[in-house]
Structure 1
């Protein structure tokens, strides 16, 4: 038996006659009769009885009618939910961001998703890049946003680079490195604070700071909790390495100041969206990715 046959039985029961039911379902009366007969043949029992007052259902027909109504109700709900998912009104998306990407993008992305698709269920994890990639491979996340240098080339991953983010070194007002005679050498000797760097990013920073072979940088504080790093930077003499946009509030308020040492003015942070190449994305995940792409292209609305 199929859904159409069940809908035809419902129409016959509610209309009370084959002629009226046929008009309701847009069939000829002989075609509707054949549909009901085919349903009865598959059920193995009579479902309808014709009488002087029209068509009535047998006890077996009443039982099938009750089930048919539940089935058609659930089917209609399923059609509606699938349409809403296609329109991103409902559904679920799970994604992860590294701490720096989260500091720049997450607030705006969550606000946009909630504002435009309030019934969308969103789970956003913030963790180290390696942990997020492990969760991606375990299919616990739809996609992740991590620093570009974390992900090695792999055929089982699909990578979408995001726009480069201006980055730099930031200190509290009155810091000794804000003096005009501050040099990159004095910066190398300072206590640095940052999220844990991937190896390639650490090498690029050493080049920017003109480190000599074997010279180590003094990372005094490392943490995946970026907000904790900001608090440390505003209250101590550490130098915080971060993307400019991640510190928008602190820069506007004057709680942090960017160092103007030439060698570190051109630093950038690069992020990318990573997903499993062989896994299809849900419409909700596609919408979240588009929202992240748009947020990554928004210009900074302050000067520094």
Structure 2
């Protein structure tokens, strides 16, 4: 099987008819038909069911399509990487971070990458775990940095763990709860602010705060923009749920302080780097990941 025939297969599936697919790959319709027939001969089984209105994949065709897309993607990556080696360039990298991970890692990572590889093109997206892993699965991102508990089990990934980080509750110094130990009941009644939490994290906080059956603890304010939440907590009487490291600047300046909460055990969040198991990382992505591991 050669790459051109695999490209023809993908085009036929995506366009739906031989005529449209032929136009897309700049071939005559008879030439495209022969290419698909040769591919079916090599497979030893029909890959398409033909009908007057177009074609549909057989079960064998679906399997070949999935492999073909992987092969074509890897071939494209190989061609790109060889060009980068020839040009002594690093190319580009696209990665995503959850809101907490973005607040902790993005600034120092970008500083190091711009210092060490100024020609590298970097695209960094901060978003919810659900959106990031959908983009990763669609191969729109090279890798994702997020809390492990937000990672879907349905996507086959390689995972590199970073150091776990403590997460706690923070308020401005003039907050009514500041200055003395606070009870779990007071936290349950407080105006909580945080990034959108997955259901697993939400249940964990219900357990940590010892909610009664039927009792729920919902944040009053949620946002993917963590810096906005930190600014809000510095100027308003909300209680911010956040990793300590994400608030280094605010804690050092005294804008925010950590609440002392009776009977609230220490919570640590495991952050990790995830990428698709079947995808070969580019040199640029490998160096970006190494930077995250260095600044961790």
Q: TM-score, normalised by structure 2?
A: 0.69
Are the aligned partners of 1:96 and 1:127 in contact in 2 as well (CA < 8 Å)? yes
Secondary structure of the 1:152 match is coil
- Name 2:213's counterpart in structure 1: 213
Q: How does 1:25-174 map to 2 (within 5 A)?
A: 81-82=84-85, 89-154=89-154, 156-174=156-174
**Runs ≥4 residues deviating over 3 A:** 78-81, 262-265
Q: How does 1:262-277 map to 2 (within 5 A)?
A: 262-264=262-264, 266-277=266-277
Shift of 1:264: 3.7
Tell me how far apart the structure 2 counterparts of residues 80 and 138 of structure 1 sit (CA, whole Å).
Answer: 24
When residues 230 and 120 of structure 1 are mapped into structure 2, their CA distance, relative to the original with a 3 A threshold, is: same
Are the aligned partners of 2:145 and 2:271 in contact in 1 as well (CA < 8 Å)? yes
Tell me how far apart the structure 2 counterparts of residues 151 and 280 of structure 1 sit (CA, whole Å).
Answer: 20
- Name 1:37's counterpart in structure 2: none
Tell me how far apart the structure 1 counterparts of residues 292 and 181 of structure 2 sit (CA, whole Å).
Answer: 40
Are the aligned partners of 1:91 and 1:121 in contact in 2 as well (CA < 8 Å)? yes
Tell me how far apart the structure 2 counterparts of residues 148 and 79 of structure 1 sit (CA, whole Å).
Answer: 33
Shift of 1:180: 2.0
1:229 aligns with 2:232: no
Shift of 1:255: 0.3
Tell me how far apart the structure 1 counterparts of residues 198 and 83 of structure 2 sit (CA, whole Å).
Answer: 46
Tell me how far apart the structure 2 counterparts of residues 156 and 223 of structure 1 sit (CA, whole Å).
Answer: 28
Tell me how far apart the structure 2 counterparts of residues 159 and 217 of structure 1 sit (CA, whole Å).
Answer: 31
- Name 2:246's counterpart in structure 1: 246
When residues 175 and 282 of structure 1 are mapped into structure 2, their CA distance, relative to the original with a 3 A threshold, is: same
Secondary structure of the 2:263 match is helix
Shift of 1:181: 4.8
Shift of 1:176: 1.6
Deviation per CA, 1:7-59: give whole Å up to 9, x if none.
xxxxxxxxxxxxxxxxxxxxxxxxxxxxxxxxxxxxxxxxxxxxxxxxxxxxx
- Name 2:289's counterpart in structure 1: 289
Extract unaligned runs of 5+ from structure 1: 1-77, 297-304
Tell me how far apart the structure 1 counterparts of residues 294 and 82 of structure 2 sit (CA, whole Å).
Answer: 30
Q: TM-score, normalised by structure 1?
A: 0.67
Tell me how far apart the structure 2 counterparts of residues 114 and 232 of structure 1 sit (CA, whole Å).
Answer: 30
